Homo-oligomer: A and B are copies of this chain.
Amino acid sequence: MPSRRQGLLIVYTGEGKGKTTAALGLLLRAWGRGMRVCTIQFIKAETGNWGEVRAAKKLGLEWHKMGDGFTHRSRDPETTAAKARQGWQLAQEKIASGAYDLVFLDEFTYPLHFGWLATEAVVDWLKHHKPPHTHVVITGRYAPQALLEAADLATEMCKIKHPYDQGIRAQPGIEF
């Protein structure tokens, strides 16, 4: 086996619940070990004050919200895409700095899926610039095949049951 410490590229994708949630669990576990972590949220609006954002503030975790709350349904697609590209620029700086043990790119699959960023270029950049000790965690539906191929750990969250299908609204502290 190769050396024990190795920064992984981790992808949580799929239709099921638990993708961002699992990444939050990684943040908590890493924080528990005194590791340095950084989150960049794509898509989600800057104004959101979700449970995870409140927790991050309470823990003093570095947290950047780079989205405007829209995906492909944006009324201003160019601004939405530009925000995603800004987010990726920031992600590159954070990852390449080597200052973090774990960098979490929440919902980063969408800018790739919608073509706001070129998947091949992103995967290639990660291959050449991610420091060996840095874990990078990427979440979101529709993870492109090239990203999954580059990943060390990839899980598809497969939906068995969603509360929404049974008429139950999203619950604070659980889904946001």
Q: Chain A residues in contact with chain B, CB under 8 A?
A: 1-2, 4-6, 8, 10-14, 16-18, 20-33, 35, 50-56, 58, 101-102, 135, 148, 151-163, 166-169, 171-174, 176
Contacts and interface: CB of A to CB of B under 8 A. Distances in A.
A20 B28 CA distance: 12
- As for how many copies of this chain the complex holds, the number is 2
Contacts of A156: 16, 157-160
Contacts of A27: 25, 28
A23 B155 CA distance: 15
A18 B22 contact: yes
B21 A26 contact: yes
Contacts of A162: 153
